[in-house]
Amino acid sequence: MARALAAVSHPIPINLNQKRTTMNRTLPATLVLGCSLVTALAQTSSLQLPTIAAGPFKPDWNSLTNYQTPNWFRDAKFGIWAHWGPQCEPEHGDWYARSMYEQGSDDYKSHLAAYGHPSTNGFKDVIHVWQAEQFDPDRLLKFYKDNGAKIFMALANHHDNFDNFNSKYQPWNSVNMGPHQDLIGGWAAAARKHGLRFGVSVHASRAWSWYEVAQGADKTGPLAGVPYDGKLTKAGGKGLWWDGLDPQDLYAQNHQPGSALQWEWDGMKGSSIPDAAYMEKIFKRTRQLWDDYHPDQIYFDDTVLPFHGVTDEVGLKLAAHCYNTRLDKDGRTGAVINGKWLDETQRQALVYDIERGKAQGILPLPWQTDTCIGSWHYDADIFKHHAYKDAASVIRMLADIVSKNGNLMLSVPLQRGGQPDADEIKIVSEIGAWLKVNGEAIYATRPWKTYGEGPSTIAAEKGRFDGQRDVSNQPFTTEDIRFTQSKDGKTLYAIVLEIPKAGKVTIKSLAANSANWPGKISSVQLVGGGWRSQLKFIRDETGLHVLLPEKFAGKTAFALKIH
């Protein structure tokens, strides 16, 4: 994920209402941000990408805007993500494979103690000891399915450049070393067995610049000036465990590093620019992942698409290939591709994703929040201090996102062995228990005329990357309500985000004089309420006043069904 660093910048402001830079699609390189036009043209003109599947979608933005989000995604609403790979081996949190090369950081100190000095024992050696010995996708995905997930997403690769599948183009993969298992293959089979849609996340395009710290060395201490292992080559492995492997296939550091890590390949902001061979390899790895494992959804942790800012050729060809290989008998694609920091045209071609954030209001096209209950990669310290998002926070976040035409992809970090910890199991179980009762107001719904009412709709907290914060710091009240409706528009759901102590709920949007619902209200039911489902109500000019059962046992939030 795009971890926050002082040196990281984004081409698109975090506030959706702020003005942003738009693309100049008349340039042959599609978009040049900062790096010279000559450099960008040289990179794209030398690209030799394999052919893609034929079909109605062509690798250009105009063609891809014919995309329509499939109904399966619109109906799913809730997915769980295993953001799990070799960086979970140290159980020290996100971006370990980068920060372990930054002298003085907590990860650097931890690495010295656990694995040795990064001049000899770098991240390649962390991969070697990662065994994933508790990997049991069948059991885990049954648990996720039983607790409300409709999609399961697995990490195919991260910025650490390691493929968690039987990769033809990346020797550093989970079949050749570490677990010696096809992890994506295992996840895919389990997802299909349990009737879950299957997604994969791809982050590896950034390894080029992300790993540049591995070219460094300690500035102080007994090994000051001794290079880290980021520049090692195949010749250096004689007699070692990695004999015959080229570390440059992992680190990709046979280039001059940039002066800063930033997220849009902008040479004027310090980014180095990847060469054609590197971009071609990423293309081939991603196409193989899609073709061999047949996921329904692919998430790119990039600005728009891989290498956007140098060339759009790689990303557009991948998008067209994905769409054309998932066509139904009517010529509509069932594929979903997530991109971040999208302009209005790009949002017609891809499914817009907001990392650790959410939309400020109802968006006209379906979109997704991706967020995590803790650190993206497993952090044992978070478990030690019981510092995860609790189930109540996730449930309220889910209701808000769905009311605005979005889906929630929730990462539940896995320990090095491949299983969630006790706190995570409890959180997922509590989310599942709520969805078993109230899921009718979430799944297969559509946004209503307004997404909600109450104080939380007025005071919006800005998110770190885009839109609003995923979880509000402000407490919810009994006046905070989110609305969804059935696909036929005949049933309205009102999700009340805080349990009223007085036993009564007032919905101002449904007042007798409200244009939102000028007709008669014939019944109000408690979703999942059984014999208590039919509720008494009064409607006047101040709102719809609903009386709850005397012994109502709701704990977090509850849904009303209104006809």
Rounded-to-integer distance, Cα 394 and Cα 416, Å: 24
Amino acid present at 203: H
Structure tokens at 445: 């719904």
What pLDDT sits at residue 459? 63
Q: What is the DSSP string of 129-162?
A: H---TT--HHHHHHHHHHTT-SEEEEEEE-TT--
Greatest Cα pair distance, the chain, in angstroms, is: 83
- CATH code, domain carrying 542: 2.60.40.1180
Contacts (Cβ under 8 Å, ≥6 apart) of 307? 205, 265, 274, 279, 282, 314, 315
**Would 324 be classed as within a structural domain?**
no
What pLDDT sits at residue 21? 32
- Residue 467 φ/ψ, nearest 5 degrees: 65, -145
Residue 546 to residues 23, 489, 517, Cα–Cα distance (Å): 50, 21, 16
Which 3 state secondary structure label does DSSP give 462? Answer: strand
**Would 59 be classed as within a structural domain?**
no
Residue 260 to residues 110, 219, 546, 556, Cα–Cα distance (Å): 24, 18, 57, 44
Domains: count for the chain: 1
pLDDT tens digits, one per residue of 19-41? 233 333 333 333 333 444 445 54
Rounded-to-integer distance, Cα 395 and Cα 416, Å: 27
Apex 370 CA angle, 369 and 372, nearest 5: 130
**Would 419 be classed as within a structural domain?**
no
What pLDDT sits at residue 394? 98
Residue 404 to residues 266, 332, 360, 411, Cα–Cα distance (Å): 33, 24, 8, 20
Pair 443, 484: CB distance under 8 Å: no
**Would 411 be classed as within a structural domain?**
no
| Site of tokens 């040196």 | 7
Residue 58 to residues 248, 299, 331, Cα–Cα distance (Å): 33, 20, 14
**Would 511 be classed as within a structural domain?**
yes
Which 3 state secondary structure label does DSSP give 348? Answer: helix
Which domain, by its residues, includes 472?
A: 445-562
**Would 43 be classed as within a structural domain?**
no
**Would 480 be classed as within a structural domain?**
yes
Amino acid present at 322: C
**Would 505 be classed as within a structural domain?**
yes
Residue 200 to residues 84, 338, 504, Cα–Cα distance (Å): 11, 10, 44
Rounded-to-integer distance, Cα 102 and Cα 81, Å: 28
Q: What is the DSSP string of 301-347?
A: EEESSTTTTT-SHHHHHHHHHHHHTTB-TTS-B--EEEEES--HHHH
Intervals of the chain under pLDDT 70: 1-45, 459-461, 464, 531-532
Rounded-to-integer distance, Cα 253 and Cα 280, Å: 16
Rounded-to-integer distance, Cα 82 and Cα 354, Å: 18
Apex 354 CA angle, 213 and 373, nearest 5: 75
Rounded-to-integer distance, Cα 115 and Cα 208, Å: 24
pLDDT tens digits, one per residue of 480-529? 999 999 999 999 999 999 999 889 999 999 999 899 999 999 999 999 98
Structure tokens at 444: 């297969």
Helix (H) or strand (E) holding 367: strand 367-372
Q: Comparing C-alpha atoms, which of 533, 527, 528, 538 is closest to residue 549?
A: 533
- Look up the pTM and report it: 0.92
| Site of tokens 């000028």 | 518
What pLDDT sits at residue 470? 81
Rounded-to-integer distance, Cα 90 and Cα 456, Å: 39
Query: Residue 341 region, left (φ>0) first, then alpha (ψ -120 to 50), else beta?
Result: left
Helix (H) or strand (E) holding 482: strand 481-486
